[in-house]
Structure formats: structure tokens, C-alpha cells
């Protein structure tokens, strides 16, 4: 069966390679033809991508005795990883940047204290159709079989968080090259294809900028709790229970239904190195909601700092989006103007209701509410230091506020933008924001899900998208021959 699946995949690849050539290729955005999906905010914008993150998804099988080779260069960015998933988007195995050994003569710029400007930064990773070990295993190796032996997948995901300024889309390096290595060592390099999906950032921007002022809504409590609360992500089922019941009317059902849903498998293609909390906000209670908390420290990388630093965690962000899993916009750690005590204030409203003092100069960050009455807010914590115990990773469901302490964003509704302006005034920040990510490509192809994930159905749709250019006929013939070799 595995041989048939792999042969079918190679036949499908050969069909792609025989499509007629179109417009001139772009060496910056072109990538291996197996990278079929980019669920970023300027491409598919699905499953709550993070705006400063570039995601690539591939469906590429490996045969017993063979493997998939991933060859690339460490990007100039805050973080990168390669992860494998089942068809239903449960994590199988994960290699974060610091776990990847560089090729001979190269160095890994993500290690604490490493030279981030190193010219030689090559790495090679193998993906095997073997069971992932419970611990240990050979270096630079990913797996398509879960440790329990019951989960199998052919989904490979590449992530880059917060590329350095001016290095979009892939952190000043090319997207990783993929090669199918068959049993016996026959190599089938997957050729390069142009980006199959056009830039859709204008759609994301339209969503973010939309939304009426002064919704005529009585505060009946149908779309969220009166006091915003943050809940740790468990799985899709629990999240759906929250969306439907975490309100003034159905609130008593949240706990028992969440307990039942918690027995469902985890997985929405989330990043294994992130943990998430989310909050539902509703226009029933006001035109503006503000969140206030202390910001964890993170390493500074965006301005091309030459040395990899450390912090309480690797990366932090807060995003708004709709229940259809589209992201409106995000703020990352470097974007936050801070008070002298290291705290931030984020105002969330429609663009038409944005308070006049929701600006960096007044020490207030801002996120768009979007066009919906109910909006989801997601906060990401990535790779907290072992000494930092007030992260989402340390919390369990129901202990979020207690565990996060001053890092828990406390929410307050304001009836109008003027009420917010009068309450907070304008105070210059003690620490200015480090720059607007949007100016460097914004949704930059940046984009991630549920920490950056993707739906198999969307993958199939994108795989058949028109506009693939510059494909090589010889590679199509190679793929056909390899399929024949496998079946015979």
C-alpha cells in the first residue's frame, strides 16, 4: 500500500511538471514544487497564522528503506523549525532550530551566543517512514510514524518566525530543497516551482479594516463573557465548545462539555514549540477592549543583531481573528510600547472606532477587531526558559491567571473610543516599540497556525492551482520512471 501511495504521488508530481511554462520565475519566492501550501496571512490565511511567520506545507511520502531529504540554510530570523504531522494534523515529530546540527563547515546561528551573521549556515535533515522514538534517536531526523505506532502521515511543515528586517520572505535564504531518496539510493530531486498562489494580503487588510462603528447590540451576553478570560488551547473540540458556550447564557455548559471534548485528539497543526491561550471578545459590552499585562523578555533579532541572545522566552505575540480561522493582524514582542514597569496596553477595536490615543506615541498598541461581533484573541508563548515559570506552558486549563500572574492580560471593556481616551490619556512609553513589522512586508508572507497549520482539503485545492511556471520536463520523466520502478 505504501508503495502504491508513493507511486501515485510521483505520478501526480509528474503531471504537475508537465504543465506548460508561464511567466518568468522569481528566485526569491520560488521553492520546491512539493511545498504546496502557504497558510500565511498573505496567502491562504487559514488556521490562525501568525502574521510575522512564513509557513510552508508539503505532502511528500517516504518509502521503507528510503527517506525524504530536506536541505537548506538556517534563515536570518528569530526561530525556525521542521515538523511532521498526521493527515488530521496531529504532531508526529519536531526539529526546532537549536536541535538541528549544521553541515560540516557550517554553524547554527540559533544557539545562544552564536554568530547570527555567519555566511556558512547549511543543514540537512532526513524524514523516515519509521516510528518516532520516545526519546533520543539519530540527529537531524524526522519521522512519519508516531511513537504509539498508530499515527501515520506524510505532512511536512517548515516555519520561520519573524525574519530579520529586509529578509522576506525566507529570512534571506531560499526555501529548503526537497529530494525523494528511494530504496537503493536513487535520488529524485523535487524541482523548483514558482509560487502557485498570488499575494492575498489585500484581502486580509480589508478584513482587518472592516467593521461598523457602534453596533446597536443589547448586552444580552450571547457572544462572550462580560469579563474577558483567557483559556489554554487543548484541541479543536474544546475550542468549539468555548466559542459556543463561553458566554453569559450558556456558561454553565462550558465546563462539562469541555471535559468531554478534551478526550478528543489534540492537533490543529499547531507548532509543538508554542502554547496558546485564547479569549473571546464581544461588541455587546463595548466598542473597545483593552488588555494590560507585563511583557516577557525575548531575544532581539529583528534589526539583524549579530549575536543570538536569550530571554524569558523565544517569541511572544497576540493576534486577532475570526472563528473561520482567518487572522486579522498580530503584534509581536518587538512591536509593544512599554511602560517603565515593563507592562503593555493593547486596545482592540474596529478601525472606525480606533481611539485617538491607541498609538505607539501614547504608549498603547492596537489590533483590529474586524467585521464580526465576536472576535477571537490568541496569545502565543514560545520556548520559555526553564527558569521562567509564568508562561502558558506552565499553566493548566483553569489555572491560567494564577500561573501567568502579571503576564496574564487583564481585559477591560470601554463603551466608546472616547471613554477609552478619557480613561487612559496619552503617556509616552518608557520603551518604544521596535518598529512596525507591517512596513517590512507586514503579513509578509508572514503569516501561521493555530500556530500555523493547514487543512488537507486546501492542500489538494492549491496543488491543482494554475500558474505554476518554469517546470522541468526531465524531472517529470524521472518521476514517471521512479513510479514505474516502485510498482514493478
- pLDDT tens digits for range 261-292: 777 777 778 899 999 999 999 999 999 999 99
* Cβ pair 270, 55 in contact under 8 A: no
Mean of the pLDDT values across residues 203-209?
Answer: 83
Cα 331 to Cα 122: distance, rounded to the nearest angstrom: 31
With both helix axes pointing from N to C terminus, report the angle between 473-487 and 2-17 in degrees, rounded to the nearest 10.
160
Mean of the pLDDT values across residues 243-256?
Answer: 79
pLDDT, one tens digit per residue, over 17-56 is 444 433 445 656 788 999 988 887 777 777 788 988 999 9
Helix (H, G, I), strand (E, B) or coil at 67: strand
Per-residue confidence (pLDDT) for residue 164, from 0 to 100? 97
Please tell me which of 116-120, 218-222, 242-246 the model is most confident about, judged by mean pLDDT: 116-120
Per-residue confidence (pLDDT) for residue 259, from 0 to 100? 81
Q: Grade residue 402 by pLDDT with cuts at 50, 70 and 90.
A: very high
Antiparallel, parallel or unpaired: β 141-145 and 122-131:
parallel
**Per residue, what are the HEC states of 166-186?**
CCCCCCCCCCCEEEEECCCCC
DSSP state string for 313-379? SSEEEEEEE-TTS-EEEEEEGGG--B-TTSEEEEEEE-GGG--TT-SGGGT-EEEE--SSSEEEEEE
* Residue 267: closest CA among 289, 236, 292: 236
User: Given a cut of 50, is residue 1 above it in pLDDT?
Assistant: no
Helix (H, G, I), strand (E, B) or coil at 111: coil
Per-residue confidence (pLDDT) for residue 479, from 0 to 100? 42
User: Given a cut of 80, is residue 448 above it in pLDDT?
Assistant: no
Alpha-helical runs (H) found in 194-268: 201-209, 236-245, 254-261
Cα 198 to Cα 360: distance, rounded to the nearest angstrom: 32
Chain region(s) in the chain for CATH 2.60.120: 204-233+270-440
Q: Grade residue 444 by pLDDT with cuts at 50, 70 and 90.
A: very low
Mean of the pLDDT values across residues 415-425?
Answer: 96
Q: Grade residue 316 by pLDDT with cuts at 50, 70 and 90.
A: very high
Q: Grade residue 67 by pLDDT with cuts at 50, 70 and 90.
A: very high
Mean of the pLDDT values across residues 216-228?
Answer: 78
Cell of residue 77, nine digits: 530570523
- Cα dihedral sign, 160-164-166-171: negative
Per-residue confidence (pLDDT) for residue 407, from 0 to 100? 98
User: Given a cut of 60, is residue 209 above it in pLDDT?
Assistant: yes
Please state, in angstroms and as integers, the Cα–Cα distance from residue 197 to each residue in 36, 82, 185, 322, 465, following that order.
9, 22, 33, 22, 7
Q: Grade residue 437 by pLDDT with cuts at 50, 70 and 90.
A: very low
Cell of residue 179, nine digits: 529530494
Phi first, then psi: what are they for 202, rounded to 5°? -65, -30
| 8-state DSSP, 462 | H
Helix (H, G, I), strand (E, B) or coil at 58: strand
Mean of the pLDDT values across residues 5-12?
Answer: 47
User: Given a cut of 50, is residue 364 above it in pLDDT?
Assistant: yes
Between residues 384 and 63, which one has the greater pLDDT? 384
Q: What angle do CA 245, 246, 249 make, to 5 degrees?
A: 65
* Cβ pair 47, 39 in contact under 8 A: yes
Mean of the pLDDT values across residues 175-198?
Answer: 90
Per-residue confidence (pLDDT) for residue 476, from 0 to 100? 40
Between residues 226 and 442, which one has the greater pLDDT? 226
Q: What angle do CA 482, 486, 488 make, to 5 degrees?
A: 115
Backbone angle region of 269, left / alpha / beta, with phi > 0 → left and psi within -120 to 50 → alpha:
left
CATH architecture of 204-233+270-440: Sandwich (2.60)
Mean of the pLDDT values across residues 475-481?
Answer: 39
Helix (H, G, I), strand (E, B) or coil at 126: strand
Between residues 69 and 447, which one has the greater pLDDT? 69
Q: Grade residue 260 by pLDDT with cuts at 50, 70 and 90.
A: confident
User: Given a cut of 50, is residue 6 above it in pLDDT?
Assistant: no
Is the backbone peptide bond immediately before 169 cis, with ω within 30 degrees of 0? yes
Per-residue confidence (pLDDT) for residue 246, from 0 to 100? 79
Count of C-beta atoms within a 10 Å radius of residue 379? 24
Amino acid at each position: 500500500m505504501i508503495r502504491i501511495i508513493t507511486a501515485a504521488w510521483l505520478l501526480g508530481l509528474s503531471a504537475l511538471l508537465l504543465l506548460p511554462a508561464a511567466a518568468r520565475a522569481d528566485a526569491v519566492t520560488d521553492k520546491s514544487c512539493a511545498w504546496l501550501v502557504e497558510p500565511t496571512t498573505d496567502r491562504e490565511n487559514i488556521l490562525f497564522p501568525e502574521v510575522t511567520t512564513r509557513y510552508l506545507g508539503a505532502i511528500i511520502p517516504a518509502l521503507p528503506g528510503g527517506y525524504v531529504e530536506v536541505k537548506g540554510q538556517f534563515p536570518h530570523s528569530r526561530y525556525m523549525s521542521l515538523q511532521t504531522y498526521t493527515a488530521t494534523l496531529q504532531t508526529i515529530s519536531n526539529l526546532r532550530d537549536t536541535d538541528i546540527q549544521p553541515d560540516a563547515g557550517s554553524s547554527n546561528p540559533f544557539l545562544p551566543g552564536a554568530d547570527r551573521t555567519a555566511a556558512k549556515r547549511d543543514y540537512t535533515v532526513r524524514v523516515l517512514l519509521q516510528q518516532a522514538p520516545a526519546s533520543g534517536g539519530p540527529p537531524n531526523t524526522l519521522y512519519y510514524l508516531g511513537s504509539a505506532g498508530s499515527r501515520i502521515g506524510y505532512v511536512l511543515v517548515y516555519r520561520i518566525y519573524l525574519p530579520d528586517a529586509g529578509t522576506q520572505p525566507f529570512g534571506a535564504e531560499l526555501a529548503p530543497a526537497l529530494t525523494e531518496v528511494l530504496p537503493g539510493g536513487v535520488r529524485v530531486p523535487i524541482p523548483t516551482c514558482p509560487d502557485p498562489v498570488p499575494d492575498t494580503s489585500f484581502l486580509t487588510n480589508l478584513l482587518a479594516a472592516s467593521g461598523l462603528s457602534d453596533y446597536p447590540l443589547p448586552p444580552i451576553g450571547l457572544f462572550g463573557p462580560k469579563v474577558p478570560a483567557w483559556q489554554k488551547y487543548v484541541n479543536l473540540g474544546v475550542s468549539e465548545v468555548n466559542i459556543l458556550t463561553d458566554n453569559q447564557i450558556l456558561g454553565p455548559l462550558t465546563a462539562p462539555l469541555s471535559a468531554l471534548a478534551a478526550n478528543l485528539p489534540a492537533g490543529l497543526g499547531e507548532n509543538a514549540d508554542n502554547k496558546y491561550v485564547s479569549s473571546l471578545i464581544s461588541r455587546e459590552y463595548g466598542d473597545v477592549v483593552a488588555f494590560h499585562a507585563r511583557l516577557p523578555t525575548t531575544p532581539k533579532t529583528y534589526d539583524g543583531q549579530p549575536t543570538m541572545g536569550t530571554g524569558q522566552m523565544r517569541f511572544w505575540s497576540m493576534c486577532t481573528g475570526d472563528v473561520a480561522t482567518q487572522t486579522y493582524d498580530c503584534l509581536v514582542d518587538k512591536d509593544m510600547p512599554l511602560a517603565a514597569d515593563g507592562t503593555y496596553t493593547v486596545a482592540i477595536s474596529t478601525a472606525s472606532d480606533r481611539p485617538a490615543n491607541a498609538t505607539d506615541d501614547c504608549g498603547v498598541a492596537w489590533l483590529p477587531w474586524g467585521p464580526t461581533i465576536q472576535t477571537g484573541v490568541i496569545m502565543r508563548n514560545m520556548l520559555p526558559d526553564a527558569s521562567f515559570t509564568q508562561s502558558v506552558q506552565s499553566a493548566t486549563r483553569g489555572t491560567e491567571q494564577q500561573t501567568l500572574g502579571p503576564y496574564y492580560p487583564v481585559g477591560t471593556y470601554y463603551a466608546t473610543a472616547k471613554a477609552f481616551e478619557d480613561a487612559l490619556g496619552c503617556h509616552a512609553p518608557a520603551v518604544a516599540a521596535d518598529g512596525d513589522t507591517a512596513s517590512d512586508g507586514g503579513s509578509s508572507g508572514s503569516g501561521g497556525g493555530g500556530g500555523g497549520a493547514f487543512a488537507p482539503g486546501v492542500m489538494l485545492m492549491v496543488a491543482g492551482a494554475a500558474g505554476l511556471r518554469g517546470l522541468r520536463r526531465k524531472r517529470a520523466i524521472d518521476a514517471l520512471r521512479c513510479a514505474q520502478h516502485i510498482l514493478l
